[in-house]
Amino acid sequence: MSFVKYEAQDLIGVITIDREKALNALNSQVLDDLEGVIDAVDYDAIRCLIITGSGKKSFVAGADIAEMAGDNKAEGEEFAKKGNLLFRKIETLPIPVIAAVNGFALGGGCELSMSCDIRLASENALFGQPETGLGITPGFGGTQRLMRRIPVGKAKEMIYACANIKAEEALKWGLVNAVYPADELMPAALKLAGKIAKNAPIAVRNSKAAMNEGIEVTMDEAIGVECKHFGDCFETADQHEGMAAFLEKRKHEPFQNK
């Protein structure tokens, strides 16, 4: 039995963490199942992924506390490495990933959402890094990504004080792009994914790579990063078609990912 479901809807892949009884908490098996699903996606055919949680209450309520409670130092490091490598893989996938945050996004859940490109939230979403209250630091990238997503002082407040924030506050700080009533979250995520899927896939992929790579380096280096990804697009059929259609005042043919 897998704790992660996958469904392809045309050009969009929907991944659901499905361990509702434990509020979709991430134990080793969930991480393995998630990695299996991520590895099996056909990245030539699928143009955007959505990650969400099963049920109405929780996206992911964190790493599994029961499983890690008895870990020693080496096991703790091993678990952190497993999650970190997977979340980095998600962050650097060749297609955009939208987190549809449908409830609790605590600890590893907040961290999973932050490894996605875009976060949309339901009104009942709650974001936080409660780890210091459990005697640990965030271990799946929270100490690093939170302060890259929101102001450093707010990130430090959330981590030091275990100060969870509701969806509306997450919107105010820019942690999420939009907040929806629960029933409207997945339709909104699918609509946004559909808009992304219509655009030239190589241009979207190169834009993602340029932004992800550029944000970590100096502006001088970042400009070089952009130039390379920009230039690469000129070898694609989609660039030829996209620009020809504009110049000929017609609608472009569907992009071919070539």
- 168 catalytic? Reply is no
Amino acid at the residue 175: L
Residue 147 touches ligand DAK, criterion: CB under 6 A: no
Q: What is the DSSP letter of 26?
A: B
Using CB under 6 A as the binding rule, the residues of this chain from 15 to 54 that contact ligand DAK are 22-23, 25
Tell me, letter by letter, the H, E, C secondary structure of 173-214.
HCCCCEEECHHHHHHHHHHHHHHHHHCCHHHHHHHHHHHHHH
- 111 catalytic? Reply is yes
Which of 56, 148 has the CB closer to ligand DAK? 56
Residue 130 touches ligand DAK, criterion: CB under 6 A: yes
Residue 66 touches ligand DAK, criterion: CB under 6 A: yes
Tell me the C-alpha distance between 223 and 214, whole Å. Answer: 8
Residue 74 touches ligand DAK, criterion: CB under 6 A: no
Kindly state the tokens that stand for 116.
Answer: 């996605």
Q: CB-based contacts of 113: which residues, under 8 Å, 6+ apart?
A: 51, 59, 60, 99, 101, 105, 119, 127
Q: CB-based contacts of 175: which residues, under 8 Å, 6+ apart?
A: 114, 119, 127, 149, 150, 165
How many other CB atoms are found less than 10 A from the CB of residue 31?
23
Residue 114 touches ligand DAK, criterion: CB under 6 A: no
Which residue of the set 35, 78, 131, 253 is catalytic? 131
# chain residues binding ligand DAK, by CB under 6 A: 24
Query: Which among 38-46, 134-142, 166-174, 207-215 is the span making contact with ligand DAK, rule CB under 6 A?
Result: 134-142
Residue 3 touches ligand DAK, criterion: CB under 6 A: no
Query: Which among 92-100, 133-141, 217-225, 250-258 is the span making contact with ligand DAK, rule CB under 6 A?
Result: 133-141
Residues that are catalytic? 111, 131
Binding footprint of ligand DAK on the chain (CB under 6 A): 22-23, 25, 61-66, 76, 79-80, 83, 104, 106-108, 130-131, 134, 136, 138-140
